[in-house]
Amino acid sequence: MRAILLDRDDTINEDPGYLADATQVRLLPRVVEGLSLLRSHGYRFFVMSNQSGVARGLISGPELQAVNDRISELLLAQGIVIERFYVCPHRDEDGCDCRKPKPGLFRQFFQDWNASGSQCFAIGDKPRDLEAARPFGVRGILLQAGKEAPVYFPKNLVYRAVDLLDAADYIIRTEGD
């Protein structure tokens, strides 16, 4: 299975900070175009998201679900299916294994689906989004539109993209390499 493992906030949707209101969901520019291109090449989509607002009491479980449902609804209207959302509701200091850059969300994905890391890409706006996928041989793409260069680059970084369409173009250009 060819899969794109996407971060959520500032990768798919605008991040106003602890997004708890589904009516405030806004897709980023060129997300639909990028995901449509990847879909046309047989990729499936999964979201891997840190959501510490839950542990901080800023977002309830039902609010988080409503936001994820709204993202799915907006994308589905364009023919794009998010197969599953994998979410870590913890803070860094909670010491869980699922908060990126730790690999727990990705480990769960690989346990749940018949996928090979070499057939997957992780796309996110922070190095930790990619670092969590590295132990599974997943190639990483860092979205950098309007951001300063990160302090470090994960070892699995293969491309720095402006947005999801740029990332999709890169994947399609290099597929089969």
Q: Which residues are catalytic?
A: 7, 9
Comparing C-alpha atoms, which of 160, 155, 153, 91 is closest to residue 123?
160
- Which neighbouring-strand residues pair with 9? 13
- For tokens 């369409």, name the residue: 165
Helix axes 61-76, 31-40, angle to 10 degrees: 70
